Chains A and B, each alone.
Chain A
Amino acid sequence: MVHGEAWTIKELFVYPNEYIYWSIQIVMYPFMTGLVAGAFVLSSLYHVFGVKQLKEIARFSLVFSLALLPVAMMPLLLHLQQPQRGIYVMMTPHFTSAIAAFGIVFTTYGLIVISEIWFVYRRFIVETVLELRAKQNRCNVESVRLVLYSLLAMGAMDLSPEALHKDERAVGILAGIGIPVACFLHGYAGFIFGSVKANALWMTPLMPVIFICSAVVSGVALCIVTYIVTMEIRKLVSAWKRKNNPRLLSSDELRSAEIQTVTLTSKYLLMFMVLAITLELLDLIFRNYTAVKSWDILRSVIYEKDFFKIFVLQYGFGNVLPFIIFLLPGLTIRRALVGALLVLMGVFMMRWNVVIGGQAFSASFSGFMEYRLPIWPNSLETLKEGLFGALAVIITPFVLFFLVTRVLPVFGVEDTH
């Protein structure tokens, strides 16, 4: 079967070779890179602009952006027809293509995140090494940990105040460079779509900006969700531990810290959301007003075929509803969680409506294509580019986050700062 035939339904006149070639994984790709970029920007708010109240979530989101990093690439590899050749993007880059820079931008960004984390955690790493070295009888696990942390320390064992101060400055600088690179990483995903002149829906110079704004929105929302979830777990754990050790923080104290962080973070969320919606509406109004050749078919896609997905799911449940949830006074943890989850769904639908919506009509402007997400895989293709492939992409960052935090704990660690 031809690639794309399994999930494409044609209506009226569609060119014979046209199918929905960019399917669910290409929806996942900007969604996941958006989360990476957003999480990083959130952590930079603390490191660069010194928003002190975000200290708690800053370290958290930085580590989370590390966990998300490999996952930004995963959907691309699942999408490629020849994934084993993916490395050719670095081997013979053709820079006239928007995709060619991906390898370089992605690697640069990854190195920045890893370096920043190294500086943030250096004190912790060195202290762990010293502590383990001091131990007389190390068990096997401890020996392995010693080797691991010694490697991570890269021989930089200096913990003098000057050295720690240097760490701090390095973090600031890296976070500073990181913001434009993160924006570039994601804005560039928008450029990949915005520069396809053959696609009437995608081609707009606003696309990169829209992508960056919604990236920050989704990244912040995800950090809020994960933060709340981990805090709930911590509360349970601390309640259990306090039975033995009453000096630990009480769950009430944790809760007040939690709601403070969440309220502040949600302010940034709303700010970027206003920006994202403004740009998206500007784009829609502009297309409506200028009504060029492609408008006839776009109108029937936007207002008829995809009406529910765009105006109900994306704008209604994904934007308006969370707005109300966050703006009503007396924000509670539970409400914040619901709001953030809705925002995530809204951004996901926005990616869907761009990627799939852009292929919902034929380049002949005389027909439509409908996308049916393959649920149950009956071939490698429908496994990779179906529900299960998408779920794998969604689950992986959480697994990675769990693994990373085994080595670099997010909470209860003395910062280099």
Chain B
Amino acid sequence: MKNHVWRPLLIVLVVVCGILMTRVLVVPDDFGVYERGYMYGWHRKSNEAEWKSVRVKYKTARICAGCHKEKHDEIIKSVHASISCENCHGPNYDHPEDPLGMNIDRSRKLCIRCHAYLPYKGTLRGGIPGIDPEKHYPSAECVLCHIPHNPKAMNQKREAKS
């Protein structure tokens, strides 16, 4: 180069080449524009498969019914039928292999999600039988008296009645 004025351009070229070469090395092959175009679909395609392969924890009541048919048939008649088994019994994962047994949530906290009374008249919540958790046997677990699988009042455990 005769003219020294162009010399800084060499640096520029080196920088640009450097960036482009790192690009070739760093960017995964499947990075590109997919279904939603450049604006919304510019991504690494294999990431979709990574998300699809996340482990499923909740397997739904249908799977439970496969083995625990008698329990399932019993609860299906109760007003709690619409509550998924896993909401109280915990996520199934790969039960019975892993975990061997379920970790059942028998806490008050679970029941009062619906049964803490809220004075919202005319709403579904307002219509659910509710208690004031601070006044209704505050130190007792609900399951001491109530049977969650068949919670009608007359089915309360005998110990509670006596």
- Which residue from chain A places its CB closest to the CB of B20 in the assembled complex? A90
In the complex, the answer to whether A92 meets B27 with C-beta atoms within 8 Å is: yes
How many chain A residues touch B (Cβ–Cβ < 8 Å)? 21
B34 at the interface (CB under 8 A from A): no
* One of A57-65, A135-143, A150-158, A258-266 contacting the partner: A150-158
Residue B15 at the chain A interface, CB threshold 8 Å: yes
Complex: A212 Cα to B31 Cα, angstroms: 35
Cβ contact within 8 Å between B3 and A91: no
Chain B residues with CB below 8 A from A92, complex form: 27, 31, 42
Q: Is the CB of B5 within 8 A of A167?
A: yes
Q: Give Cα A88–Cα B39 distance, bound, in whole angstroms.
A: 17
Nearest chain A CB to B38 CB, angstrom units = 7
Residues 17-45 of B at the A interface (beta carbon under 8 Å): 19, 22-23, 26-27, 31, 38-39, 42
A115 within 8 A of B: yes
Which chain B residues lie closer than 8 Å to A167 at the CB level? 5
Does chain A have a CB within 8 A of B8? yes
Closest B residue to A111 by CB, please name it: B12
Known: A91-B27, A111-B12, A111-B15. A155 touches B7 (CB 8 A): yes
Please indicate the chain B residues that have their CB under 8 angstroms from the CB of A170 in the complex: 5
With most chain A CB atoms within 10 A of its CB, the pick from B4, B38, B39, B42 is: B4
A153-189 near B? 1/0 per residue, CB < 8 Å: 0111010000100110010000000000000000000
A170 CB, nearest partner CB in chain B, Å: 5
SS of B interface (majority): helix
Within 8 A of B (CB), among A88-118: 88, 90-92, 94, 96, 107, 111, 114-115, 118
A292 to B134, CA, bound (A): 44
**A8-33, CB < 8 A from B:** none
Say whether A87 faces chain B, with CB atoms less than 8 Å apart.
yes
Partner of B23, one of A91, A94, A154: A91
A90 to B39, CA, bound (A): 17
Give the residue name and chain of the B residue nearest to A118 (CB).
B8
Main secondary structure of the interface of A (DSSP, over half): helix
- Residues of chain A within 8 A of B22, CB atoms compared: 87, 90-91
CB-nearest residue of chain B relative to A110? B15
Query: A163–B27 contact, CB under 8 A?
Result: no
Q: A91-B22, A92-B42 are in contact. Are A114 and B4 (CB under 8 A)?
A: no
CB pair B23 A163 closer than 8 Å: no
Q: Which of B11, B12, B23, B31 contacts A90 (CB 8 A)?
A: B23
A156 B7 Cβ-Cβ under 8 A? yes
**Given A96-B38, A96-B39, A111-B12, is A90 in contact with B7 using a C-beta cutoff of 8 Å?**
no
Q: Shortest beta-carbon distance, A404 to chain B, in Å? A: 17
Residues of A within 8 A of B11 (CB): 111, 114-115
List the A residue with the shortest CB-CB distance to B24: A91
A240 to B58, CA, bound (A): 81
B19 pairs with A90, CB closer than 8 A: yes
Give CA–CA (A110, B10) in the complex, Å: 15
Residues of B within 8 A of A91 (CB): 22-23, 26-27
Neighbouring B residues of A87 by C-beta, 8 Å: 22, 26
Q: A155 vs B7: C-alpha distance in the bound complex, in angstroms?
A: 9
In the docked arrangement, what's the CA distance between A40 and B7, Å? 22
A156 x B26 contact (CB < 8 A): no
A-side contacts of B15, CB under 8 Å: 107, 111
B136 to chain A, nearest CB (A): 29
- How near does chain A come to B70, taking the closest CB pair, in angstroms? 40
Contact check, A166 vs B5: say whether CB atoms are below 8 A apart.
yes
Given A92-B31, A96-B38, A107-B15, decide whether A115 and B8 contact each other with a Cβ distance below 8 A. Answer: yes
Task: Knowing that A115-B8, A170-B5 touch, tell me 12 more A-B residue pairs with CB under 8 angstroms.
Answer: A87-B22, A88-B26, A91-B26, A91-B27, A92-B27, A92-B42, A94-B38, A96-B39, A107-B15, A115-B11, A118-B8, A166-B3
Q: Which 5 A-B pairs have the closest CB atoms?
A: A156-B4, A115-B8, A96-B39, A154-B7, A166-B5
Which A residues contact B (CB, under 8 angstroms)?
87-88, 90-92, 94, 96, 107, 111, 114-115, 118-119, 154-156, 158, 163, 166-167, 170
Question: B residues touching A (Cβ–Cβ < 8 Å)?
Answer: 3-5, 7-8, 10-12, 15, 19, 22-23, 26-27, 31, 38-39, 42
9 A-B contact pairs sorted by A residue (CB < 8 Å): A88-B26, A90-B19, A107-B15, A107-B19, A115-B12, A154-B10, A156-B7, A163-B4, A170-B5
